[in-house]
Amino acid sequence: MTIPIVVVDAFTEQPFKGSPAAVCLLDRPRPPYWLQEVARQINLPETAFLLSEQNGYYLRWFTPTQEMELSGHATLASAHLLWERRLIPCDREARFFTRSGLLTAVQHGDLIQLDFPVEPPRTLTPTPDLERAVGAPIINAGKNRHDYLVEVADEGTVRDLKPDLDALARLDCRGLIVTSRAESERYDYVSRYFAPQIGIPENPATGSAHCCLAPYWGKILWKSAMIGYQASGRGGIVRVELAGMRVKISGKAVTIQRSKLDHAPRMFSS
């Protein structure tokens, strides 16, 4: 028996841009240790595992080193795959049962729109450890239940940043969001995302980070709808729209690779 695996680049319409995620279509529940081994073998920023359920799909996300509470780009990749393979009709909402509750996705033209919880940062005074880890002067700092967020002086600082990944791995958080206002009129803000603690030195395009970025920049810019650019080497475009305690996160996706995972039944013993 084989398990289909599809690699999707999320938050982009160009191959080899945005953030890559593998999506595995399971035929039945598998033990967590096996899911983790598969994610480690695939070795992309995140691997999503989908299991069909009567009213939607169970969805779990794994980095090469651990299971995640929330992932934007792997959820967008999962929705893209379900519609592309016509496992659900294109005009139907995709429903995902996750460790962060029910998440949904819909299609708006060539965009996939995710409905995620808002995760605003709580303002804090940067510690010396955080400043050393970032490696650039911090204008503002905050933290939510997942990540630190730091604003730096300008887009050039974001793009050129070389944080201390060993120091970041010792911080009490999932990862670090670094952001500034955008210089281009095409975007409202730019960002990068580093998460060495969970096996991702830098994620090219991070949907869940915008659960924090959207309320942060929305308050500063007095906007509810914005466009963010993730200024990683691959780059990623993320559209956000604040809606109370939810944020609509939209982007495009492109399928890169289709394959199958061979396995032996003994691997699935619990």
Catalytic residues: 46
- Helix/strand/coil percent split, the chain, to 5: 25, 40, 35
If we measure between CA atoms, which residue out of 92, 96, 106 comes closest to residue 70?
96
Among residues 239, 241, 242, 243, which one has the least CA distance to residue 228?
A: 239
Burial class (CB in 10 A: 0-12, 13-18, 19+), 270: exposed
Query: Which long-range contacts link 25-33 to residues 24+ away (Cβ below 8 Å)?
Result: 25/50, 25/81, 26/50, 26/51, 27/1, 27/3, 30/268, 31/268, 31/269, 31/270, 32/67
Residue among 26, 66, 29, 25 at smallest CA distance from 46: 66
By C-alpha distance, which of 88, 133, 136 is closest to 112? Answer: 88
Residue 21 burial by Cβ neighbours in a 10 Å radius (0-12, 13-18, 19+): buried
Give the Cβ contact number of residue 65 at 10 Å.
13
What is the distance between the alpha carbons of residues 63 and 82, in angstroms, rounded to a whole number? 21
Ramachandran class of 43: left when φ > 0, alpha when ψ lies in -120 to 50, beta otherwise: left
